Structure 1
Amino acid sequence: MKNNYFLLILAGLLSMAATAQMDPATVTIMTTEVTDDVYMLEGRGGNIMIVVSEDKTLMVDSQFAPLSDKIKQTIDSISSNDITYLVNTHHHGDHTGGNENFNSEETTVVAQKNVLERLKSEDKATGYLPELTLDEQIKLKMPNDPNIMVVHVHNAHTDGDSFVYFVDKNVVHMGDVFFKDKYPYIDLNSGGSINGYIAAQQLILKTINEDTHIIPGHGKLATVQDLKNSINMLKDLRDAISLAMSRDQTKEEILANATITKRYDELNYGDGFVNSERIKQTIYNSLKNPNTDK
């Protein structure tokens, strides 16, 4: 319990430090056109999706607040429309930090209900908070885009994750339920779990099709094959650690066993936010204390 509390405090301090030390002048907002009227914006933090539809624009995630002016300039170069919906894929600050800066009178902030509760517990200002919440699923509509699905996935990266699927455009934003070609950060202290994470990826894989464009929470624009690779990697690591645990190997022995992640370390999966030791520790802790697994 003390260790989990320490990790929670440390994560919060690191997030605040990253924001405080950020110099917006050093950050470039990169734009990738995914398909007609759909764009992925990369800066610092989670990837943003922008979808333009006649006189309305939908935005998914808002990155850190210090970057809002640069992000607005980039969006203005794409569309002059007001932002009708700002959808948050979960509550973390690198995806919600700019909420208040984008939340105008024309904008509705949308998120799963647990996101609202977690942001309220952080004493966020009203303009920062979701105004339209979903439990399991909600359908949004915009001109020429009547089939926009926002779907909750349980106890994956957190307890409030949603993916956003534009059915007609065949583009999905997965939030932090997908880190392309990297070990994912699974926030156990916010209700995340390894089994829920894998189940969420499998659900999304069943929902989309082979031609779907995938915007990950972090990383470059992805394909369905990239998602399949992620599922296989996580299942391999989970099964290897589960087997070691069934053989009464200690946590220290498992963390010291480099062969568990060797195949994926060689593919540079551990070069991101989460290294090989941390993903093994996360999976071990999640399997050892599966109270959040569904």
Structure 2
Amino acid sequence: MRTFISTSLGAVLLASSALTLSACSQSNAQETDRFAAVEIKAQPLGEGIAVLFGAGGNIGVSYGPDGTVLIDDQFAPLTPKIQAAIADLGAEPVKYLINTHWHGDHTGGNENFGKAGALIMAHDHVRERMLGIQSSGRGNDPASPAEALPAVTYHDGLKLHLNGDEVHVKHMKHAHTDGDSIVFWKKANVLHMGDLYFNKVTLPFIDLNSGGNARGVLAAAETALTMVDDETKIIPGHGPMATKADLMSYRDMMKTVIGLVETAQSDGKTLEEVQAMKPAAKWDVNPDGFIKGDAFVEAVYKSLKVAPHKEDHPH
């Protein structure tokens, strides 16, 4: 896998790659065995809305008379367990599925849910990357099956009027990847941030090879903070549920580290010299985090070496 990230993250993403057909050498039996012990746990967040925790990205669920809406779907072998957890909530089978970005721990179940009749939606770049290797960087190789691909794509976002709520889906440009979306339920006051926000489990993963950039992660946090209040329930891509205060701390961390790296760059310091300064040490506290300080600082350093991305144009 061609990427700047640490070997520890590479190991974590191996499962994702396998389940998005990037590592075909592993059998279906092996994939199934890897997730045999995973338990899908549901946490209700309000009337007709919940979050599912398992292995991979956190899943948002909205359900009611207009059908069940799923936000991300983890890995393919977990689909039956996810479907069972949804049924246990009293919800109908998934009718709509939104992917927050293209990584396999958020889209691995797409083919299963697509074949079961779900309408899949995502940003333009999610479909492009799932179709194959992109000129701008990494994508699925070989391409995902047709049933796994988003059938509805958008450039800036979309709004769904379902189950008595307004669901606002907004694209956040060049952040974790180039196809990230956040999902906000206006009435329920719940925000799903995908991997734009890792809560207390690791330092941020900025996928430079998929068009990600540290500036965009900071901008996404700033945008999200304008949408929430002290009562908002925030679903991170990974980690436990969060509050506005938690997201503010994350924003402040990003702003601080970017500022320190930017100043060091302007002083002519090399990447190795900046890493030696340990600008992220204060937040690099989880020994099991799959992004550690040096990898995060490298991503920030390289992000700042790239000219700010120009406005994307609709396809």
Shared fold per TM-score greater than 0.5: yes
Instruction: Tell me the secondary structure at the aligned position of residue 103 of structure 1.
Output: helix
Q: Find the partner of 1:212 among 222, 228, 232.
A: 232
1:171 counterpart residue number: 190
Instruction: Tell me the secondary structure at the aligned position of residue 121 of structure 2.
Output: strand
Q: Does structure 1 retain, via aligned residues, the 8 Å contact 2:66–2:162?
A: no
1:240 counterpart residue number: 260
Aligned-pair identity in percent equals 37
**Residues 178-193 of structure 1: matches in 2 within 5 Å?**
178-181=197-200, 182-193=202-213
Residue type at the aligned position of 1:40? V
Instruction: Tell me the secondary structure at the aligned position of residue 115 of structure 1.
Output: helix
Q: Does structure 2 retain, via aligned residues, the 8 Å contact 1:196–1:293?
A: no
Q: Find the partner of 1:152 among 147, 171, 174.
A: 171
Cα gap change, 1:102 to 1:278, in 2 (>3 Å):
same
Q: Distance in 2 between matches of 1:213 and 1:82?
A: 24
Cα gap change, 1:270 to 1:204, in 2 (>3 Å):
farther
Q: Is 268-277 or 80-89 further displaced after alignment?
A: 268-277
Q: Find the partner of 1:49 among 54, 60, 65.
A: 60
Structure 1 stretches of 4+ moved >6 Å: 10-13
Q: Residue 287 in 1 paired to residue 304 in 2?
A: yes
2:282 counterpart residue number: 263
Q: For residue 38 of structure 1, report the CA deviation from its aligned partner.
A: 1.1
Q: For residue 53 of structure 1, report the CA deviation from its aligned partner.
A: 1.4
1:129 counterpart residue number: 149
Q: TM-score when scaled to structure 1?
A: 0.91
Q: Does structure 2 retain, via aligned residues, the 8 Å contact 1:137–1:150?
A: yes
Unaligned runs of 5+ in 1: none
Q: Distance in 1 between matches of 2:174 and 2:220?
A: 8
Q: Distance in 1 between matches of 2:306 and 2:287?
A: 24
Cα gap change, 1:213 to 1:17, in 2 (>3 Å):
closer
Q: Distance in 2 between matches of 1:79 and 1:111?
A: 26
Q: Distance in 2 between matches of 1:112 and 1:12?
A: 25
Instruction: Tell me the secondary structure at the aligned position of residue 191 of structure 2.
Output: strand
2:89 counterpart residue number: 78
Q: For residue 269 of structure 1, report the CA deviation from its aligned partner.
A: 5.3
Q: Distance in 1 between matches of 2:287 and 2:303?
A: 19
Q: Residue 88 in 1 paired to residue 64 in 2?
A: no
Q: Find the partner of 1:252 among 253, 259, 272.
A: 272
Residue type at the aligned position of 1:83? V
Instruction: Tell me the secondary structure at the aligned position of residue 63 of structure 2.
Output: strand
Residue type at the aligned position of 1:79? G
Q: Residue 203 in 1 paired to residue 223 in 2?
A: yes
Residue type at the aligned position of 1:93? G
Cα gap change, 1:271 to 1:17, in 2 (>3 Å):
closer
Answer 1 or 2: which has greater helix percent.
Answer: 1
2:80 counterpart residue number: 69
Cα gap change, 1:195 to 1:136, in 2 (>3 Å):
same
Instruction: Tell me the secondary structure at the aligned position of residue 188 of structure 2.
Output: coil
**Residues 78-117 of structure 1: matches in 2 within 5 Å?**
78-104=89-115, 106-117=117-128
Q: Distance in 1 between matches of 2:41 and 2:116?
A: 27
Q: Distance in 2 between matches of 1:13 and 1:40?
A: 26
Instruction: Tell me the secondary structure at the aligned position of residue 273 of structure 2.
Output: helix
Cα gap change, 1:270 to 1:227, in 2 (>3 Å):
farther
Cα gap change, 1:119 to 1:13, in 2 (>3 Å):
farther
Unaligned runs of 5+ in 2: 19-25, 133-139
Q: Distance in 2 between matches of 1:7 and 1:192?
A: 12
2:251 counterpart residue number: 231
Cα gap change, 1:12 to 1:141, in 2 (>3 Å):
farther
Q: What number of residue pairs does the alignment pair up?
A: 287
